[in-house]
Amino acid sequence: MLGADLKALRIVSCHLGNGCSVTAIRDGQSIDTTMGFTPLEGLMMGTRSGSVDPGILTYLMRQGQLDSEGIDKVLNEKSGLLGVSGLSSDMRDILTGIQQGHKRAKLAFDIYVHRLRAAIGGMAAVLGGMDVLVFTAGVGENSNEVRAAACRELEFLGIRLNDRTNARPSLDQDISTPDSRVRILVIRAEEDWAIAKECWKFAHPCRPQELLASS
């Protein structure tokens, strides 16, 4: 899409679905990601809390409010957009709630975007700069509001969003302005294809070109 060698690009990829992560990519390889030992670490998600102060968990256990199973359930299934908004884990419902004056929906959106911006900036620091910013997965591909809000405070990194293109992008499209130092791309996730490739390689070790030929 950009006419450049993948290995020459410093890429920050924002996978924003019900689960969310931001990844720093150098030389075509992931060198850092917001997820950790489990998918729970990092960004605020649909029902997952993202990173929290571990002291909160020990406090809840000491107070006898939650045991380990209860904490696991709360952090994975009752937090994130759902927990903060008290409304829904679906970003579309959150945006509708904001339009209707739902204060907790607005709070949930603001926290979500704040965490996302911080992660993008952090990955740019890891890479020593950024050439490409990618938005992908359900929210990343479909929510122009999230993309606009995420980019709004990042112009100091050379990010300039084309508001008109962002409002109605097609998938696999550059939505940055011509003068943006960082190219902003909306990319379809195609997780099923990625899984299929890994399964094929596991069952039939071969060179990548043989895999593509077989498809």
Q: Which domains does the chain have, with CATH numbers?
A: 6-189 (3.30.420.40)
Please tell me the pTM assigned to this model. Answer: 0.88
Could you tell me how many helices (H) and strands (E) the chain has, helices first? 10, 6
Residue 147: is it exposed, middle or buried by C-beta count within 10 angstroms (0-12/13-18/19+)? buried
Residue 22: is it exposed, middle or buried by C-beta count within 10 angstroms (0-12/13-18/19+)? buried
Residue closest to 22 by CA, chosen among 10, 31, 9, 35: 35
Distance in angstroms (rounded) separating the CA atoms of residues 133 and 111: 20
Give pLDDT tens digits along the chain (215 positions). Answer: 888 888 899 999 999 999 999 999 999 999 999 999 999 999 999 999 999 999 988 898 888 778 889 999 999 999 999 999 999 999 999 999 999 999 999 999 999 999 999 999 999 999 999 999 999 999 999 999 999 999 999 999 999 999 999 998 788 999 999 999 999 999 998 888 888 988 888 887 655 555 556 55
